[in-house]
Structure 1
Amino acid sequence: MSENKTSNSNNAGYILAILAVIIWSGNFVAARFLTHLTPIEISFYRWIVTFIVLTPFCMKKLIKNIKYIKGRWIKVIIISILGVTVFNTFVYLAAHTSNATNMSLLATLSPIIMAIISRIVWKTKLTINQKLGLLIVIIGVVILITKGSIDVLMNLKFAVGDLYMLFAVILFAVYTLTLKVRPKEISQSAFFYLMVIIGLIPLIAAMIFKYASNNAHTLDTKSALILIYVGVFPSALGFILWNMAIAKIGAIKGGIIYDAIPFFSSLEAVILLHENLLISQVIGGILILAGIIYSTIGDKIKKQNDI
């Protein structure tokens, strides 16, 4: 009975992680229309929208259960700053001087960094199937991003933005690994709402400074609508689904699924932006999905064969 419960919990976790990744992939498409805004402005507006959306549903829950945070405030503040304030800001900052190819390639390092940190801190090991699955996923991502051309890899040029992106990837890995700091008495949505409140404080201070120095950009209708979308879906729904997924399957398995973002971003670009579908995208996408499936069911098959 307990094995069935664990299996069902894992299956739900995989579905939640995939849904989060699909939602997040839309963030990269939306970001293409916000290049006139600074990274601080994008982060501020998206999280303000998230705060407004979550308040009616989460404020009472948080007030009722905030007492369970006692003794964990420093950890909660750190994880909030990492996940809300800094991570997305550095991604947008990277986009100013880095290119999409470099950023996507660097993003694939996230599960590897998670595995390294988890191995050092918690002595967690990847299974053989997880290692092989991750390798297949990374090969698929490289084919997808480079369009199957070795010349793209050979001619990669790195800029300051790439360092920002690498830092963002490390931050996201640390954020995902430290989600276990949430007390079980507080729901995922209420805990995330608290993180948004804490993470917004530095962004509000930065925006006050920008307005005081007349450096803030005004929002047009199109930008406002895009930011509302980003605030509701990638920020609110995406993060809550991801946090729920990690609670069920752990950071390592979630990290492997995270690498599917370039595949879903390409798919959405084809559908929404009418970009051409390339054979390299099809091959890369198949490998990414195959790697994820293998890493998630490989151990189950092995256990069944061992019985």
Structure 2
Amino acid sequence: MSDTVKGHLSASLTVVIWAMTFISTKILLKSFLPIEILFIRFLIGFFMLTIASRKILPFKGWREESYYIIAGLFGVFLYYYLENVALTYTLAMNVGIIGSVSPFMTALISRFILKQGKIPRVFVLGFICSMIGISMISLSGTLNVNPIGDGLALIATVCWASYSLLIKKISGFGYGTIATTQRIFFYGLLFMLLVLFLTLDSFDLSRFTRFGNVGNLLFLGIGASALCFVTWNFSVKNLGAVRAAVYIYTIPMLTTIASVLILGETWTIKTFLGILLTLAGLVLSELPNFLRQRKK
């Protein structure tokens, strides 16, 4: 099996699990603060990666180390903290659908900031189409509208796009995916600690006696953090940041279905049309890559 095929398979596994994280987080927010959920899940993930790696990456100087630090800030701390806070204001399906903008953000940052690649006109058309769809979803009714929550979710996509591009650079350092992910988690946890100490006045251990809380935390820590960050970083290494990001397109549909079935959230006709427009825009943005591959 080629590395490219492995990259596609690992990306597929990642998005299936990540689509469920919005549901688990939404449930945990009834008992935990956003920063508590974030810190606990990545602490579990860090310990699991430490056990799996059995080694620590060597320190090669602050220039190389800065990539791990910034990746931990954007991909582990800021992205998930903003996402968790967004879930306290808006619906899980909104956060999942808005998160589908990440591929666009990745391509835009790659082109205009890193000066890599080109953006075809059809990509711009797809972006506009997707943004119209997202607007329809956010404004589909009074129960679904929350500018703060939806805005935070959109900012989070910029953080994730930046993280994915950083991972592509880090993958060139020549270290194993598990070990590099462990180092990134370490710095992400350091950033969380500061917010944790400023936010918490007390810590209620009785919350861990509830099976639902423990089960969802283990799912987020072991599955969605330790496992999925390794599989995602592996996908980016083998497919590239923009190409791997295509798989995020499937998350909105999976999250929306799970939100309706598990959380009992409702959707309107505008929401449904918004989903279709968003996905249509994402398909349009990938059309140049598809046609290019057909010619080879």
Deviates further, 49-58 or 130-139: 130-139
2:75–2:163 Cα contact (<8 Å) kept = yes
CA offsets per residue over residues 56-111 of structure 1, 9 Å max, x none? 11142x2xx42446531222211111111221011011111233454344323211
Aligned to 2:24: 30
Distance of aligned partners of 1:258 and 1:126 in 2 relative to their CA distance in 1, 3 Å threshold: farther
Aligned to 1:81: 73
Matched, 1:202 2:191: yes
Question: 1 CA distance for matches of 2:294 and 2:267?
Answer: 34
Question: 2 CA distance for matches of 1:210 and 1:122?
Answer: 36
Matched, 1:13 2:7: yes
Letter in 2 for 1:21: V
Question: 2 CA distance for matches of 1:69 and 1:180?
Answer: 19
Aligned to 1:258: 248
CA offsets per residue over residues 112-137 of structure 1, 9 Å max, x none? 11111111133333575983995699
Matched, 1:185 2:174: yes
SS of the equivalent of 2:173 reads: coil
Letter in 2 for 1:19: L
Letter in 1 for 2:123: K
Percent of aligned pairs with the same amino acid: 22
Matching residue within 136, 140, 155 for 1:152: 140
How far 1:216 sits from its partner (Å)? Answer: 5.6
Distance of aligned partners of 1:70 and 1:135 in 2 relative to their CA distance in 1, 3 Å threshold: closer
Distance of aligned partners of 1:210 and 1:172 in 2 relative to their CA distance in 1, 3 Å threshold: same
Aligned to 2:49: 54
How far 1:263 sits from its partner (Å)? Answer: 1.6
Distance of aligned partners of 1:222 and 1:298 in 2 relative to their CA distance in 1, 3 Å threshold: same
SS of the equivalent of 2:140 reads: helix
Deviates further, 156-165 or 189-198: 156-165
2:92–2:255 Cα contact (<8 Å) kept = no
Letter in 1 for 2:221: G
1:135–1:291 Cα contact (<8 Å) kept = no
Question: 1 CA distance for matches of 2:47 and 2:292?
Answer: 42
* Structure 1 portions without partners, runs of 5+: none
Question: 2 CA distance for matches of 1:45 and 1:185?
Answer: 29
Question: 2 CA distance for matches of 1:39 and 1:171?
Answer: 17
Distance of aligned partners of 1:263 and 1:105 in 2 relative to their CA distance in 1, 3 Å threshold: closer
SS of the equivalent of 2:58 reads: helix
Aligned to 1:164: 152
Q: Give the TM-score normalised by structure 2.
A: 0.80
CA offsets per residue over residues 251-297 of structure 1, 9 Å max, x none? 1112222121112223445676688999959x949x67x93985664
Letter in 2 for 1:11: V
Matching residue within 224, 227, 233 for 1:234: 224
Question: 1 CA distance for matches of 2:28 and 2:174?
Answer: 38
Deviates further, 177-186 or 80-89: 177-186
Q: What are the equivalent positions in structure 2 for 1:34-113 lying under 5 Å apart?
A: 34-36=28-30, 37-60=32-55, 62=56, 65-68=57-60, 71-100=63-92, 102-113=94-105
Question: 2 CA distance for matches of 1:271 and 1:97?
Answer: 20
Letter in 2 for 1:191: T
CA offsets per residue over residues 186-213 of structure 1, 9 Å max, x none? 11110000111111123234434555x2
Q: What are the equivalent positions in structure 2 for 1:96-135 lying under 5 Å apart?
A: 96-100=88-92, 102-126=94-118, 131=123
Letter in 1 for 2:81: T
1:95–1:161 Cα contact (<8 Å) kept = yes
**Between Structure 1 and Structure 2, how many residues are aligned?**
288
* Structure 2 portions without partners, runs of 5+: none
Letter in 2 for 1:38: L
Letter in 1 for 2:23: V
SS of the equivalent of 1:66 reads: coil
1:133–1:291 Cα contact (<8 Å) kept = no
- Structure ID, larger Rg: 1
- Cα RMSD (Å) of the superposition? 3.8
